[in-house]
Chains A and B, each alone.
Chain A
Amino acid sequence: MTDDLFTLRAETEAALREAADVRAWDAVRVGVLGKSGTLTALLKDLGRTPAEQRRERGAALNRLKDELAAAIEARRAALEEAALEARLAAERIDVTLPPRPAPAGLIHPVSRTMEEMAAIFGAMGFAVAEGPDVESDWHNFGALNIPAHHPARADHDTFYLPPAGPGAAPPVLRTHTSPVQVRSMLRQPPPLRIVTMGRTYRADHDATHSPMFHQLEGLAIGRDITLGHLKGCLIDFLRSFFGIASLPVRFRASYFPFTEPSMEVDIGWNRRTGELGGGGDWLEILGSGMVHPKVLANCGIDPAEWQGFAFGMGVERVTMLKHGMADLRPFYDSDIRWLRHYGSSPLAPAMLHEGV
Chain B
Amino acid sequence: MKFSLAWLRDHLETDAPLAVITDTLTRIGLELEGVEDRGATLAPFRIARVLSAVPHPNADRLRACTVDAGDGVAVSVVCGAPNARAGMISVFAAPGSYIPGTDMTLKVGDIRGVKSAGMLLSAREMGLGDDHAGIMDLPADAPVGTAYAAWAGLDDPVIDIAVTPNRGDALSVRGVARDLAAAGIGTLKPWAPAPLPAQFASTLRWSIEMPAACPWILGRMIRNVRNGPAPRWLAERLTAIGLRPINALVDITNFFTVDLGRPLHVFDADKVAGGVLTLRPGAGETFRALNGKDVTVTAEDCVIADAAGVQSLAGIVGGAATGCDADTTNVFVECALFDPVRIALSGRRHQIASDARARFERGIDPALLPAATEAATRMIVELCGGTASELVAAGAEPAWRRRATLRFARIAGLGGLDVPADEAVGALQRLGFSVAARDAERVTVEVPSWRNDIAADTALDPAPGIAAPQAGRALIEPEADLVEEVLRLRGLDVVPPVSMRVAGPVPAPTLTPRQTRTALARRVLGARGLAECVTFSFMASGAAALFGGSDPALRLANPIAADLDQLRPTPLATLALAAQRNAARGWPDVALFEIGPGFAGTAPEAQPVIAAGLRAGAAAPRHWGVAARPADAFDAKGDAYAVLAALGVPMEALSVSADAPGFYHPGQSGVVRQGPKQVLARFGALHPRVLAELGGAGPAVAFEIYLDAIQEPKRRRRAAPDLPAFMPVRRDFAFIAAAAVPAEAVLKAARGAERTLIAEVSLFDAYDGAQVAPGHRSLGVEVVFQPRERTLTDAEIEAACARVAAAVAKATGARLR
**A and B from one assembly?**
yes
Residue numbers of B with Cβ under 8 A of A are 26-29, 31, 164-167, 340-341, 344-345, 348, 361-362, 412-417, 458, 460-463, 466-473, 475-477, 480-481, 483-484, 487-488, 492-493, 495-500, 502-503, 507-512, 515, 519, 522-538, 552-561, 564, 567, 575, 578, 581-582, 585, 587, 590-593, 596-597, 599, 602-604, 607, 620-621, 623-626
Q: For the complex, is A143 an interface residue (Cβ under 8 Å from B)?
A: yes
With a 10 A CB-CB cut-off, give which of B602, B603, B626 has the most chain A CB atoms: B602
Q: Which single member of B166, B481, B525, B561 contacts A105 (CB below 8 Å)?
A: B525
Are B415's CB and A102's CB within 8 A? Answer: no
Check A201/B537 contact, CB under 8 A, given A111-B522, A118-B510, A131-B604. yes
A156-176 CB contacts (< 8 Å) to partner B: 159-162, 164, 170-171, 173
Given A105-B525, A334-B535: A297 touches B473 (CB 8 Å cut-off)? yes
- Please determine whether A124 and B469 come into contact, CB atoms closer than 8 angstroms: no
Contacts of A250 in B (CB 8 A): 493
Q: Complex formed: what's the CA distance from A229 to B508 in Å?
A: 20
Cβ contacts under 8 Å, B604 to chain A = 131-132
A343 near B531 with CB under 8 A, answer yes
Beta-carbon contact of A300 and B462 below 8 Å: yes
Find chain B residues with CB under 8 A from A51 CB. Answer: none
Within 8 A of B (CB), among A339-355: 339-340, 343, 345-347, 349
- How far is A7 from B531 in the complex, measured between Cα atoms in Å? 79
Q: In the complex where A124-B502, A127-B510, A212-B536 touch, is A333 in contact with B623 (Cβ < 8 A)?
A: no
Check if B596 sits within 8 Å of A199, measured CB to CB.
Answer: yes
Q: Across the interface, do A233 and B500 meet the contact criterion of CB distance under 8 Å?
A: yes
For A229, give the chain B residue with the smallest CB separation: B498
Q: Are B533 and A339 in contact (CB under 8 A)?
A: yes
Interface hits, A97-153 → B, CB 8 Å: 97-98, 100-108, 110-111, 115, 118-119, 121-128, 130-134, 138, 142-143, 145, 147-152
Q: How far is the CA of A182 from the CA of B512 in the complex (A)?
A: 18
User: A149 and B463: CB pair below 8 A?
Assistant: no
Chain A nearest CB, measured from B110 CB (Å)? 41
> Would A147 and B461 count as touching, CB distance under 8 A?
yes
Query: Cβ of A162 and Cβ of B345 under 8 Å apart?
Result: no
29 example contacts (A-B, Cβ-Cβ < 8 A) are as follows A98-B623, A105-B532, A106-B526, A110-B534, A111-B534, A132-B603, A142-B461, A151-B362, A211-B536, A227-B417, A228-B498, A229-B500, A230-B416, A251-B492, A252-B27, A253-B488, A254-B164, A255-B166, A255-B167, A261-B492, A293-B477, A297-B469, A298-B460, A298-B468, A300-B466, A304-B473, A339-B533, A346-B526, A347-B526
User: CB within 8 A of B532: which of A160, A220, A227, A339?
Assistant: A339
Contact of A138 among B461, B483, B487 (CB under 8 A): B461
Closest residue on chain A to residue B340 by CB atoms: A149
Q: Closest CB-CB distance, B604 to chain A, in whole Å?
A: 4
Q: Which of A216-251 contact B (CB under 8 A)?
A: 220, 224, 226-233, 235-236, 250-251
Taking a contact as CB atoms closer than 8 A, the residue among A115, A160, A261, A335 that contacts B484 in the complex is A261
17 new A-B contacts at CB < 8 Å, known A293-B472, A346-B527: A103-B620, A105-B530, A125-B503, A126-B510, A134-B602, A149-B345, A155-B165, A214-B534, A226-B414, A226-B416, A254-B164, A260-B481, A298-B461, A298-B466, A303-B473, A333-B581, A336-B592
On whether the beta carbons of A304 and B560 are closer than 8 Å, the reply is: no
Interchain CB contact under 8 A, B468 and A297: yes
Complex Cα distance, B480 from A307, in Å, reads: 11
CA distance A84 to B554 in the complex (A): 72
Measured in the bound complex, the distance between the Cα atoms of B582 and A104 in whole Å is 17
Among A132, A250, A261, A343, the most chain B Cβ lie within 10 Å of the Cβ of: A261
Task: Let me know if B564 and A211 touch, CB within 8 A.
Answer: yes
* In the bound complex, CA of A236 to CA of B498 (Å): 9
Q: Which of A123, A204, A212 contacts B537 (CB 8 A)?
A: A212
Residues B484 and A229 in contact, CB atoms below 8 Å apart: no
Tell me, yes or no, whether A154 is within 8 Å of chain B by CB: yes
Give the interface size class of chain A. Answer: 35 or more
Q: Is the CB of B561 within 8 A of A119?
A: no
Pick from B31, B476, B620: contact of A254, CB under 8 Å: B31
The residue that B31 contacts in the complex, of A124, A229, A236, A264, with Cβ under 8 A, is A264
Chain B residue nearest to A201 (CB atoms) is B537
Q: Please state if B492 and A253 are interface contacts (CB–CB under 8 Å).
A: yes
Question: A186: CB under 8 A from chain B?
Answer: yes
Contact B500 A232 (CB under 8 A): yes
Question: What is the interface of chain A, defined by CB distance below 8 A to chain B?
Answer: 97-98, 100-108, 110-111, 115, 118-119, 121-128, 130-134, 138, 142-143, 145, 147-152, 154-155, 159-162, 164, 170-171, 173, 182, 186, 193, 199, 201, 203-205, 211-212, 214, 220, 224, 226-233, 235-236, 250-255, 257, 260-264, 290, 292-294, 296-305, 307, 331-337, 339-340, 343, 345-347, 349
Q: Report whether B492 and A133 are in contact in the complex, using a CB–CB cutoff of 8 Å.
A: no
Bound together, the chains give a CA A37 to CA B588 distance in angstroms of: 73
- Shortest beta-carbon distance from A316 to chain B in Å: 9
**Shortest Cβ distance from residue A175 to the other chain B in the assembled complex, whole angstroms:** 13
From residue B100, how far is it (CB to closest CB) to chain A in Å? 23
Determine whether the beta carbon of B599 is less than 8 Å from that of A134.
yes
Contact B470 A334 (CB under 8 A): no
Cross-interface CB contact of B626 among A101, A107, A126, A214, cutoff 8 Å = A101
Closest 7 CB pairs of A and B: A346-B526, A228-B416, A122-B510, A304-B472, A253-B29, A255-B164, A253-B488
How distant is the Cα of A333 from the Cα of B582 in the complex, in angstroms? 9
Q: How far does the Cβ of A186 sit from chain B's closest Cβ, in whole Å?
A: 6
Tell me the complex Cα distance, A170–B417, Å.
Answer: 43
A349 touches B523 (CB 8 A): yes
- Whether B560 and A105, one on each chain, are in contact in the complex, defined by CB atoms closer than 8 angstroms, is no
Choose from A131, A133, A161, A307 the contact partner of B557 (Cβ within 8 Å): A161
> Cβ of A159 and Cβ of B481 under 8 Å apart?
no
CB atoms of A164 and B29 under 8 A apart: no
- A101 contacts which chain B residues (CB < 8 A)? 620-621, 623, 626
Distance in Å: Cβ of A201 to nearest Cβ of chain B: 7
Q: How far is the CB of B708 from chain A (nearest CB, A)?
A: 11
B536 adjacent to A304 (CB under 8 Å)? no
Given contacts A260-B480, A336-B582, contact A226 B412 (CB under 8 A): yes
Residues of A close to B575: CB separation below 8 A = 334
Residues of B with C-beta under 8 A to A305: 472
Find out whether the CB atom of B462 lies under 8 angstroms from the CB atom of A253: no
Q: Are A118 and B532 in contact (CB under 8 A)?
A: no
Tell me if A151 and B165 are in contact (CB < 8 A).
Answer: yes
Q: Do B165 and A152 touch (CB < 8 A)?
A: yes
The chain B residue sitting closest to A344, CB to CB, is B526
Contact of B463 among A119, A255, A300 (CB under 8 A): A300
Tell me how far the C-beta of B625 lies from the nearest C-beta in chain A, rounded to whole angstroms. Answer: 6
A161 touches B488 (CB 8 A): no
* CB closest chain-A residue, reference B494: A251
The answer to whether B499 and A236 touch across the interface, beta carbons within 8 angstroms, is yes
Contacts of B461 in A (CB 8 A): 138, 142-143, 145, 147, 294, 298
Which one of A107, A115, A161, A186 has the highest number of Cβ atoms from chain B below 10 Å of its Cβ? Answer: A161
Which one, A115, A300, A332, contacts B467 given CB within 8 A? Answer: A300
Contacts of B473 in A (CB 8 A): 293-294, 296-297, 303-304
- Interface contact A261-B487, CB-CB below 8 Å: yes
Which of B463, B476, B624 lies in contact with A303, CB distance below 8 A?
Answer: B476
In the complex, how many angstroms separate the beta carbon of A61 from the nearest chain B beta carbon? 47
A231 to B575, CA, bound (A): 40
Q: Is A298 touching B463 in the complex (CB atoms < 8 A)? A: yes
| B489 nearest in chain A by CB position | A253
Nearest-CB residue, chain B, relative to A303: B476
Smallest Cβ distance from A215 to chain B, in angstroms? Answer: 14
* Least CB distance, A123 to chain B, in whole angstroms: 5
Q: Name the CB-closest residue of B to A205.
A: B560
State how many angstroms separate the Cβ of B575 from the closest Cβ of chain A: 8
Chain A residues within 8 Å of B28, by CB = 253
- In the complex where A294-B477, A335-B581 touch, is A149 in contact with B341 (Cβ < 8 A)? yes
Nearest-neighbour CB distance to chain A for B287, whole angstroms, equals 24
Would you give the shortest CB distance from B348 to chain A, in whole angstroms?
7
B511 contacts A118, C-beta separation under 8 Å: yes
